[in-house]
């Protein structure tokens, strides 16, 4: 069964450093998302991406964040200068697309720890 | 901002008992999705509801979307230990933007 894959599974970084989280969405999906989940809390929407541009973003997704689809398969989230409060599980998700086909398939997540 | 709240936050039930979680949005939603997240896992899509008043069933799970499209519920009949996890609703508020609810953590005691 096709799945969304994320690497690395766990990333530890120093405060102020840049991190790039990587995702390979399901191959025929057109819409891509990043969510984050602080331990024990709800899943928070960060950004949606379609046709090589951001569709929507939340208030959390400020200038420190950026997304990119550098080639035909990868989808990345970059945090430019990490803060302690960026520590969370980051989930990538993808969906086929179309107004009705928005069932999101989530990856296993990358646990980011900022120290 | 837009908020999606769920109650209860936690629920412990004996195996075989029923369970219901309620989802309430501060704004009208285009549609609503439900996800299940096992401990240490990732959200897994369960269902999508689109129409006002819609009811859908999946085996022991019944999902309902309110008439005003601002609330929803998930009911599990005769819970099993495999139902353990956190259940999230996610309301569509934009073209491709979903706001997740606060979640209900279900524990089933054997």
| pLDDT tens track, chain B, 110 positions | 778 999 999 999 999 999 999 999 999 998 999 999 999 999 999 999 999 999 999 999 999 999 999 999 999 999 999 999 999 999 988 777 889 999 999 999 98
| β-pair partners for A42 | none
**Closest residue of B to A39, CA-based?**
B40
Instruction: Tell me the average confidence (pLDDT) per consecutive run of 10 residues in chain A, 115 residues long.
Output: 93 98 94 94 93 92 94 93 97 82 89 98
CA distances from B18 to A15, A28, A31, B12, B82 (A): 46, 39, 36, 11, 14
Question: Closest-CA residue in chain A for B104?
Answer: A42
Cβ atoms within 10 Å, residue B1: 8
- Residue B77's CB is within 10 A of a number of other CB atoms, namely 14
Residues of B in contact with A95 (CB under 8 A): 96
Give the tens place of pLDDT for each residue, A3-19: 999 999 999 999 999 99
Q: Which of A42, A56, A105 sits opposite B103 (nearest CB)?
A: A42
Please tell me if residue A39 touches chain B, with a CB cutoff of 8 Å: no
Could you tell me if A5 lies within 8 Å of chain B, comparing CB atoms? no
Contact criterion met (CB < 8 Å) for A43 and B100? yes
- Minimal-distance CA residue of chain B relative to A95: B96
């Amino acid at each position: 069964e096709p799945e969304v894959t994320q690497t690395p599974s766990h990333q530890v970084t120093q405060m102020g450093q840049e991190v790039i989280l990587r995702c390979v969405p399901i191959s025929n999906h057109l819409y891509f998302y990043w969510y984050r989940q602080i331990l024990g809390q709800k899943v928070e929407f960060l950004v949606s991406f379609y046709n090589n541009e951001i569709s929507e973003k939340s208030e959390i997704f400020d200038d420190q964040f950026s997304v990119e689809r550098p080639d035909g398969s990868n989808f990345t989230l970059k945090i430019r200068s990490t803060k302690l409060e960026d520590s969370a599980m980051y989930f990538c998700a993808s969906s086929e697309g179309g107004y009705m086909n928005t069932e999101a398939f989530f990856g296993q997540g990358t646990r980011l720890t900022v120290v | 901002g837009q908020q999606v709240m769920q109650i209860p936050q936690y629920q412990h039930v004996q195996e075989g008992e029923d369970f219901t979680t309620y989802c309430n949005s501060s704004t009208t939603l285009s549609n609503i999705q439900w996800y299940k997240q096992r401990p240490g896992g990732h959200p897994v899509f369960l269902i999508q509801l689109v129409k006002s008043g819609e009811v859908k069933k999946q085996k022991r799970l019944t999902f309902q979307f309110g008439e005003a499209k601002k609330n929803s519920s998930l009911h599990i009949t005769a819970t099993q230990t495999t139902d353990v996890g956190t259940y999230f609703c996610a309301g569509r508020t934009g073209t491709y933007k979903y706001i997740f609810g606060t979640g209900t953590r279900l524990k089933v005691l054997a």
